[in-house]
Chain A
Amino acid sequence: MSPAGVGGARVRVEGVHKAFALDGRSTPALVDINLEVQAGELLCLLGPSGCGKSTLLNIVAGFLPPTRGRVLVDATPITGPGPERGVVFQEYVLFPWLTVAQNVEFGPRLAGVEAARCREIAARYLDMVGLREHATKFPVQLSGGMKQRVAIARALANNPSIVLMDEPFGALDAQTREVMQEELSRIQRVEHKTIVFVTHSIREAVYLADRLVVLTSAPGRIREIFSIKLGEARDRFAPEFTRYESEITRVVKEEVAKVRE
């Protein structure tokens, strides 16, 4: 595990297979996944629905055990969920009985950080996501976009070296979604976490990713890995952006077409 502080850890997925029992038969979901995510890298997992990208993320999070293979964080194999791997869910999953600030403080409090320091941490990350004046509200009082900001602040406040994001902006409207992408990209320039980001939006992936992994249709294998060399502040209308977008769209469409056949 990497020392606490800004910066990420390296994730290695080694020979991971995952099969689910379906009607009494073992059905493969992921086949032979080998992948290395560099420290501080933002890696997007992209693929047709049902391709196993969320399953892979859940395995890295430690929520699901792989059928074969293993996942290492730096040199340590993972055995379950842990605070060094923060998770942001599509459904936000805030604790509804805690206020916004208490949600963000949840991790540090558990870790035994003293109360005054916890408040400082919460204030810092709520500032970062622009929600400081909503600190005393409860989750039911927030919009979807605000909830997801709290969830991101909560994950970051626990100072994980890795952040796993499972279609975090999937439930948001198009405008909010772009704003959130911009905020995440801005935060990442400060925090340099290792981020694994699952999405089915090619635009979103091209906007955010350092590298982008396209999975095949089910069972998921790695189809192709793209390095997105567009620099830090990206312009969605730049010609190079569009070039990546159309190239990746072509690859993804081939995979979607396979499902239809």
Chain B
Amino acid sequence: MKSTTSQPPQPDDTTRKRRSPKADTSGLYKSAVRDAFVKLDPRVAVGNPVMFLVWVGTIVTLLVTIDPNIFGTVDADPNRQRLLNGLITIILFFTVIFANFAEAVAEGRGKAQADTLRSSRSDTIARKVLPDGSIGQVSSTELRKGDRVKVALGETIPADGEVVAGVASVDESAITGESAPVLKQPGTDIASSVTGGTRVVSDELTIQITADPGQGFIDRMIALVEGAKRSKTPNEIALTVFLAVLTQVFLIVVATLSPLANYVRTPISIAILVALLVALIPTTIGGLLSAIGIAGMNRVSQFNVIATSGRAVEACGDVNTLILDKTGTITLGNRLADEFIPVNGHSVQEVAAVALAGSLFDETPEGKSIVQLAEKLGANLDFVGGGTLDEMRARSEGVDFSARTRMSGTDLPNDIEIRKGAIDAIRGFVRSRGGNIPDEFDAAYERVSRLGGTPLGICQNGDLYGVIYLKDVVKAGLRERFDQLRRMGVRTIMLTGDNRITASVIAQEAGVDDFIAEATPEDKIDVIKREQSEGKLVAMTGDGTNDAPALAQANVGVAMNSGTQAAKEAANMVDLDSDPTKLIDLVAIGKQLLITRGALTTFSIANDIAKYFAIIPTIFAAAGIGALNIMGLKNPQSAILAALIYNALIIPALIPLALNGVKFRPLTADQLLQRNILLYGLGGVIAPFIAIKIIDVLIPI
């Protein structure tokens, strides 16, 4: 089963690489079988009205198996009756067991995941800073909010907290699955929060505890994935009510059928009435409904996102507007060199060569991208004597970037000084070396600004070579995904601190529907409120403490695990991988959950037509309506058993679909309806006709 865990819909490249810590699912089925029987407890069973009625029906048929005449004498041979009633009882019992099993499997998957999490939470000895400043050894369970502890290399952080002193690397792979350690230090919004159960892998931290025992992040996650706090979502409640009404309708239909049948002199037995009732009530969706909901949450957590409630997952499907931060969500965090614009009569090749030489010691992503672009253009170091980059590095000296100079570069042999940096800085440098600034330089850097990029000047001593165009790079494949979202009726709004011109360029390139430039954190909450006032559901991501109000206001707020405690508490989902682009996948998961629920409901109800045509004509054959037996079923006993066996087996047959969800396609509502109605509506009408006929042929009665 490990390998068949559901594929998240359309995972993009950045999220496919990282998987959650693998949950141990061995023994899942064994314990699910046990749980299926445990759930027979009437106090548990009554929570699902449809299946509870089947359970009651099982007991009734059991009674008439023991004594066929218990509810009044029947004419037929009691032993023959007993056999039929006994078979009906067995099938009904398995119908209940199958439904319980479906739920147990779904819950079991969550439990397995919780166990993995729990293993990271074992009690540790913490070094607590006592009031007098000394250090005392206490159990991690004795720590309270506000306590301070010291955690050194190799130790496990005892509880959630904020770093108040020290700088250290922390391995958070236990909860994120990300193996690279994360740097933690005090005073920074994001990097100062630590999670209990993670390990310090360098230096020492002083941490102020922010959660009481059992209240920590991991504890809450465990409770959530285990389904301990799972309550039905509004739509599930509505569906349960609808199924209950349908069940009552069929209860009346079947209960009143007896006098009708007697009146036309074709009496039917209690067991057959119960069989008819169970065949008609929506057992398929009734049995799978809660499994679908649990599986939806599991799918989210397999995607390394923890949802605080099923409601939040459902809301994802309903989202109308996504609010996305530009940096990190839409663009890669770093700008990359895109073009060299020469001035002063230099060629692109020359600019590339100078830029290459000037970036020899630049280890920033921007610097590396300049090297890459220059090499792509075929630049080499021949103008300073040739050789490989490493040879050249050995012969020259790097000039680091500083906030004061706002440029960096390389000092090559023969007093060749190459500098690249902010336009003004380069201008100053060129002048100081006696060079002049042509007008085309201004034109070049203005063009870059208008394109939404960052211009860097590049010069060699007093000779100004040109402008390097550093471009904000939109993540690959985003445009297509935004197109998909648009087709599904979801608008995207980009928020950025950039100026309008830059923002509009990026927005156009990424294909978002709208953008807000020069945005402040307060703007975020204003946008959310504006959208919500139009009745829209809004989803957003955030990580900083100043995002917390917006995360709370949004209908779906996804906090990054790397974010602050405040952000995580305000959000209704936490992304353990801290990948804001995942928000898009969450929309798909939410829709997938709803579609699965709708598809199985439609399928379940559509099935009834065939069951009616199987049972009614055969049991009332004496009334002369045998011609309605269009499936040509052998006899009433065989017809009833075939319909019931189908009814029971369809539940386990659909468990994979319920747990993994129907395949999601980013189509418009009309296309989705058409597709799914044909598949599950029409399919639901036809499939049971075929299946019941086959079962009828197979069973030897």
- Same complex for A and B? Answer no
Residue ranges of B at the interface with A (Cβ–Cβ < 8 Å) = none
